[in-house]
């Protein structure tokens, strides 16, 4: 096909959003325009849960009804796992999985499809404050509940030199914060005789952008050397996202995770020893098959005992073809009860973390959004603060003193702290 206009929709993770931004940027550079009723609609899909797959199906059906003459191209994880099913959906003319996702570009431009590269780099550029930079793709872990390894393929990554070039491009656009993203970024450099620590050391040495955040890193790959580097860094933010999934060693073994609770706790305590104000977020799955009441209470007590900032809580979702799908499933009401308890604990953790930051000094990167006359931004340790709107502060690094919670009774998702600009 040869399209003149396009629209792109993205579901799922930050990695998908970075890849969608790259595709949109290349299509625009090739002369295509964004349109509400385009020639081609691109959906970058997600399949991490059954709900994510349903969202993809429903969105394609909706888009076909709204723009019946447009050709629909489906990309991403769902495209990797269920290509034949998706090709039968009304309006869909092409499906590209993660390995050949970037071939959607020559397809839309009416060009011959090349051999897909083993790794393609991408970064988001639709936010003037921050960018998500893809440095790694794929996963070799094959956890018993997860389809990502099948959907994304084997672990592969960019080169250190090209990551530095991408950071320079991002910096030239005026963006001041970059989040390093991938499927398993701690595995960076596998097969290249380099590793994630060496990449971070190079980033710290070059200091191209003022702020770099590290997205989710497996606890067994978050080395003491990485933690110590972040603790002394001028560029790497004291903000960690570490997937736990369960605080019960028996369940971790059933999940095929590559660590135990003792190792996980040691990483958390080292971070807090070196960086007392660091933000630490973790992932936890509630209701994994075979998780007994005793197992869950062990998880609850474990996460309650750690100095965490908040949790991302996921209700277990059975994925066809995974080993966990064949195990005895936890009843839905039990999964919901456990999810709700963990969410309540997370809310309490975040409130405590924010209150620990009262009367402390930090640097904030302010954003352009205005709500009721206030603008907001995030500190280096990922506390959201607000101040009266001032357009000169947008996308600026500003020293502030955090005062108090603006609304202590707010939902955890909407917590924000007042601050005063330092003179």
Closest C-alpha to 361, from 316, 329, 398: 398
Which CATH number describes the domain made up of 239-356? 3.30.750.200
At residue 1, the pLDDT reads: 73
d(Cα 316, Cα 293) in Å, to the nearest integer? 15
The CATH number corresponding to 119-237 among 3.30.750.210, 3.30.43.10, 3.40.50.300, 3.40.640.10 equals: 3.30.750.210
Do residues 160 and 195 make contact, with C-beta atoms less than 8 angstroms apart?
A: no
DSSP letters for 182-195: -SSGGGTTTTTT--
CA 365 from centroid of its chain's CA atoms? 19
At residue 167, the pLDDT reads: 98
Q: Can you give the residue ranges of every domain in the chain?
A: 5-109, 119-237, 239-356, 361-421
Distances (CA, A) of 201 to 5, 278, 372: 42, 19, 41
| Residue 294 pLDDT grade (very low, low, confident, very high; cuts 50, 70, 90) | very high
Helices (H), 281-383: 293-305, 332-356
At residue 2, the pLDDT reads: 77
pLDDT, mean over the chain? 96
Q: Which residues of 205-219 are buried (b: 16+ CB within 10 A; e: fewer)?
A: eeebbbbbbbbbbbb
d(Cα 39, Cα 390) in Å, to the nearest integer? 40
Residue 13: CB partners within 8 Å, gap ≥ 6?
46, 48, 181
Closest C-alpha to 178, from 222, 147, 199, 208: 208
Find the radius of gyration of the CA atoms of the chain.
Answer: 22
At residue 247, the pLDDT reads: 98
Distances (CA, A) of 114 to 16, 101, 104, 111, 397: 22, 12, 10, 9, 43
Per-residue pLDDT of 140-195, as tens digits, reads 999 999 999 999 999 999 999 999 999 999 999 999 999 999 999 999 999 899 99
Closest C-alpha to 225, from 247, 217, 133: 217
Asked whether the predicted pLDDT for residue 9 surpasses 80, the reply is: yes
Average pLDDT of 123-127?
Answer: 85
CA 259 from centroid of its chain's CA atoms? 21
In terms of C-beta density within 10 A (0-12 exposed, 13-18 middle, 19 or more buried), how is residue 234 classed?
exposed
Q: Which residues pair with 33 in a beta bridge?
A: 5
Do residues 363 and 379 make contact, with C-beta atoms less than 8 angstroms apart?
A: yes
The model carries a pTM of 0.93
Per-residue pLDDT of 306-365, as tens digits, reads 999 999 999 999 999 999 999 999 999 999 999 999 999 999 999 999 999 999 999 999
**3 state DSSP class of 286:** strand
Residue 99: CB partners within 8 Å, gap ≥ 6?
80, 116, 153
Higher per-residue confidence, 229 vs 410: 229
d(Cα 405, Cα 145) in Å, to the nearest integer? 38
Do residues 128 and 177 make contact, with C-beta atoms less than 8 angstroms apart?
A: no
Do residues 244 and 143 make contact, with C-beta atoms less than 8 angstroms apart?
A: no
- CA-CA-CA-CA torsion sign (83, 87, 91, 94): positive
Asked whether the predicted pLDDT for residue 423 surpasses 90, the reply is: no
Do residues 110 and 290 make contact, with C-beta atoms less than 8 angstroms apart?
A: no
CA end-to-end distance (rounded Å), the chain: 58
The CATH class given to the 5-109 domain equals alpha beta
Asked whether the predicted pLDDT for residue 117 surpasses 90, the reply is: no
Share of the chain above pLDDT 70, in %: 100
| Residue 3 pLDDT grade (very low, low, confident, very high; cuts 50, 70, 90) | confident
Angle between helices 224-232 and 261-274 (to 10 degrees): 20
Asked whether the predicted pLDDT for residue 271 surpasses 90, the reply is: yes
Average pLDDT of 34-40?
Answer: 94
| Residue 279 pLDDT grade (very low, low, confident, very high; cuts 50, 70, 90) | very high
Domains 5-109 and 239-356 share a fold: no
| Residue 127 pLDDT grade (very low, low, confident, very high; cuts 50, 70, 90) | confident
* DSSP tag of 142: -
At residue 217, the pLDDT reads: 98
**What angle (nearest 5°) sits at the alpha carbon of residue 358, between those of residues 355 and 363?**
120
Per-residue pLDDT of 190-238, as tens digits, reads 989 999 999 999 999 999 999 999 999 999 999 999 999 999 999 999 9
Closest C-alpha to 29, from 80, 95, 105: 105
| Residue 70 pLDDT grade (very low, low, confident, very high; cuts 50, 70, 90) | very high
């Amino acid at each position: 096909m040869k399209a003149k206009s396009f629209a792109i929709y993205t579901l799922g993770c930050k990695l998908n959003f970075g890849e969608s931004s790259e595709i949109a940027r290349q299509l625009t550079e090739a002369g295509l325009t964004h349109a509400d009723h385009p020639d081609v609609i691109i959906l970058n899909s997600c399949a991490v849960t059954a709900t994510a797959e349903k969202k993809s199906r429903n969105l394609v059906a909706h888009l076909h009804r709204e723009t019946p003459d447009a050709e629909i191209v489906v990309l991403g994880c769902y495209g990797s796992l269920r290509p034949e099913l998706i090709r039968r959906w009304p309006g869909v003319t092409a499906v590209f999985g993660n390995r050949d996702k970037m071939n959607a570009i020559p397809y839309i431009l009416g060009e011959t499809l090349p051999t897909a590269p083993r790794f393609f780099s991408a970064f988001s550029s639709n936010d003037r404050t921050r960018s998500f930079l893809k440095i790694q793709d794929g996963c070799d872990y094959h956890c018993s509940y997860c389809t990502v390894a099948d959907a994304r393929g084997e672990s592969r990554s960019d080169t250190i030199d090209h990551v530095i070039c991408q950071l320079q491009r991002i910096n030239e656009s005026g963006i001041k914060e970059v989040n390093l993203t991938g499927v398993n970024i701690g595995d960076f450099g596998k097969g290249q005789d380099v590793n994630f620590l060496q990449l971070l050391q190079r980033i710290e040495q070059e200091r191209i952008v003022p702020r770099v955040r590290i997205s989710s890193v497996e606890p067994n790959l978050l080395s003491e050397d990485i933690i110590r580097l972040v603790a002394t860094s001028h560029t790497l933010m004291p903000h960690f996202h570490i997937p736990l999934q369960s605080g019960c060693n028996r369940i971790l073994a059933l999940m095929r995770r590559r660590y135990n609770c003792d190792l996980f706790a040691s990483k958390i305590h080292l971070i807090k020893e070196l960086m007392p104000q660091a933000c630490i977020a973790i992932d936890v799955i509630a209701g994994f098959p075979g998780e007994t009441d005793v197992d869950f209470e062990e998880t609850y007590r474990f996460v309650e005992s750690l100095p965490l900032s908040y949790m991302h809580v996921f209700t277990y979702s059975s994925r066809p073809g995974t080993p966990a799908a064949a195990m005895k499933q936890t009843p839905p009401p039990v999964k919901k009860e456990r999810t709700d308890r963990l969410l309540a604990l997370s809310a309490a953790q975040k409130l405590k973390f924010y209150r620990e930051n009262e009367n402390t000094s930090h640097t904030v990167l302010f954003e352009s959004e205005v709500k009721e006359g206030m603008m907001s931004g995030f500190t280096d340790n990922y506390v959201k603060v607000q101040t009266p709107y001032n357009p000169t502060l947008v996308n600026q690094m500003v020293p502030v003193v955090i005062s108090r919670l603006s609304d202590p009774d707010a939902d955890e998702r909407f917590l924000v702290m007042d601050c005063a600009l330092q003179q």
